[in-house]
Amino acid sequence: MRIYSYNVNGIRSALNKGLLKWIKETDADVICLQELKAQESQVDIASFESLGYKVYLHTAEKKGYSGVAILSRLEPDHIEYGCGNAIYDREGRIIRMDLKDRSIMSAYIPSGSSGDDRQSFKMEFLDFFYDYIDTLKKKIPRLIISGDFNICHKPIDIHNPVSNKNSSGFLPEEREWVTKFLDMGFTDTFRFFNSEPHNYTWWSFRANARAKNLGWRIDYHMTTKILDHNLTGASIFPDAVHSDHCPILLEIE
């Protein structure tokens, strides 16, 4: 099974930059998308269906904001839209596809970079999300969470850890949360296979950061440890340029 995750930073913009051609070339089984920035009526669902994907969307109430999706060539047993918390579901941050032997979630954790209020909102979401997943994985032991966590876990995951030590996305309390989340029984699948530096999934549009590879690794495929023996590969694709993020791949039996 080949599962991609991609924060597209606006699905309509990404489609205009060749996203559909890229999807066709990936031949993925499942694609988790984040930050759609579109209502369902604004998404060209037929274009994805023409490639053999069923499209499941959980969009934000606010137009041009947030939103997640799952594109799947597999027939799901169930689609869970949201997490049951109206505050977060209004922002379209979680969608889950249940299959016979596992579940795949597309998740978009809030950014706190716009100010103190949103940073507080992010930390509240993280507390909620931890408890939500801790409960969910008892019901669904084989759980794959794919998406934009908006946090770099360790210094290896960010281009300049010293100058960014007080930046949202690399704050000590955020990084500690990722450690706690992994200790709950999850695997950071990219680091399961790759311990090399300079592997990033997001770059600022400023200062030619992407060309200089001054990036952050904030997108993850997290899997419950019971799936460790099923993992066969994990990759990052910085040359895909439909967004300020790039897609990431999980290969799993």
So what's the pLDDT on residue 115? Answer: 93
The CA distances from residue 67 to 25, 59, 106, 250, in Å, are 24, 4, 10, 21
Query: Which tokens belong to 149?
Result: 């966590």
Query: Which tokens belong to 226?
Result: 């019971």
So what's the pLDDT on residue 33? Answer: 98
- Active-site annotation holds for 244: no
Let me know if domain 2-252 sits in CATH 3.40.50.10490.
no
Residue 145, φ and ψ in degrees, nearest 5: -115, 115
Q: Tens digit of pLDDT for each residue in 33-47?
A: 999 999 999 999 999
Domain boundaries, the chain: 2-252
So what's the pLDDT on residue 119? Answer: 98
Q: Is 31 exposed, middle or buried (0-12, 13-18, 19+ CB in 10 A)?
A: buried
The CA distances from residue 75 to 33, 34, 50, 147, in Å, are 18, 21, 16, 21
pTM score, whole prediction: 0.97
Catalytic one among 148, 157, 188, 244?
148
Q: Tens digit of pLDDT for each residue in 117-144?
A: 999 999 999 999 999 999 999 999 999 9
Do the bridges between strand 186-188 and strand 219-224 make them parallel or antiparallel, or are there none, so unpaired?
antiparallel
- In terms of Cα–Cα distance, which of 57, 50, 43 is closest to 15? 43
Residues of the chain with pLDDT under 50: none
Output the DSSP codes for 176-204. Answer: HHHHHHHHTTEEEHHHHH---S---SEE-
